[in-house]
Copies of this chain bind each other. A is one copy, B any other.
Amino acid sequence: MGEFDLIRRYFLPLVGQRESRSLLLGPGDDCAIQRIPPGRDLVFSVDALVEGVHFPRNYRPDYLGWRALAVAASDLAAMGADPECFTLALTLPAVDECWLESFSRGLKSASEAFGLALAGGDTTSGPLTLSVQVHGTVESGKGVRRSGARPGDLVAVSGTLGNAGAALDYLSDPAPSADMLAVLEHYHRPRPRLDLAEAVRQFASAAIDISDGLLADLGHILAASEVGARINSDRLPLSPALSRLKEGRAIDYALRSGDDYELCLCFSAENWDRAPELLKSQVTLIGTVEAEPGLYLDGEHWALEALPSGFDHFRSES
């Protein structure tokens, strides 16, 4: 099977998985065309995933297809944007029809689940690498940035933290406990918080998705907003499985591990008061924004530079 047949068989079925309100022309021409409705902005983000770096070697292709789109879609949720479409640049060592069938199945489930239609792509031979760019839209000027946190704001996180990080330690466990099966699901099937996007853009002053761990990603908000924060680790929301881990380990996962793709959000007290119960039921307040730079974690002060700066793919060379 050649490149063109491959695209036709495995990827074209993903076109128009949903009514994309804005996609006028999908794959097959020199470019795709999107018509952004008047009064809305285009919001877009690209993520690269490399075998052996962002996902394990010989990772299940259907999990990979889901994951590639989930990771990128999470950035749309963090801006408060509604999903529209995506492009996929896929580099494959060889045409393995079983692999492609499984990969495209995972990608299709994610495409349906997240409401993202395939707009275009490029498929070539080479080491297994994916690059996914997602496009969303938001009312003009309403995209939520990292830089909007103000002293007095409340700091919140969605869902529960640390599950995917714990899962990574159990990926090769041949007989995982029921608890670990539950957290493995978080790693294999991350669910970007697109369900919160509307509430984020209506109520949040700043937002980021937690891909590198809470300390690193909250650090990015604090740096961009030129503020500090005070948070308490005993307020961090944990899943039942993590709560049963030995003391300290769950908190460590929750503070330092990413891959959950939950959101870290800031709200002015006024906006928090008028936020709907639907939002409040999905997020947990963990602290406050302060004027003094740096982070007070359980009363201990960390300079911003002392916080982990996120997963650095080149740290060994630095």
Contact = CB atoms under 8 A, between A and B. Distances in A.
Name which of A3, A30, A146, A309 has the most chain B CB atoms within 10 A of its CB: A30
Contacts of A209: 30
A307 interface: no
Contact of A125 (B6, B53, B95): B53
Contacts of A207: 30
B126 A310 contact: no
B28 A41 contact: no
Interface residues of A, number: 75
A146 to B, nearest CB: 5
A248 B95 CA distance: 35
A120 B45 CA distance: 7
Interface stretch (A75-83, A155-163, A229-237, A272-280): A75-83
Nearest to A309: B4
A94 interface: yes
Interface string A273-294: 0000000000000000000000
Contacts of A5: 318
A265 to B, nearest CB: 12
Contacts of A35: 41-42, 140
Given A120-B44, A318-B95, A31 B75 contact: yes
Contacts of A54: 124
Given A143-B25, A146-B29, A42 B50 contact: no
A93 B196 CA distance: 37
Contact of A2 (B44, B50, B90, B314): B314
A91 B48 contact: yes
Contacts of A121: 46
Interface stretch (A106-114, A127-135, A169-177, A296-304): A127-135
Interface in A196-251: 207-209, 224
A78 B31 CA distance: 8
Contact of A317 (B1, B25, B89, B318): B1
A155 to B, nearest CB: 17
A145 interface: yes
A250 to B, nearest CB: 26
Contacts of A119: 44
Contacts of A312: 2-4
A315 to B, nearest CB: 6
A48 B313 contact: no
A182 to B, nearest CB: 28
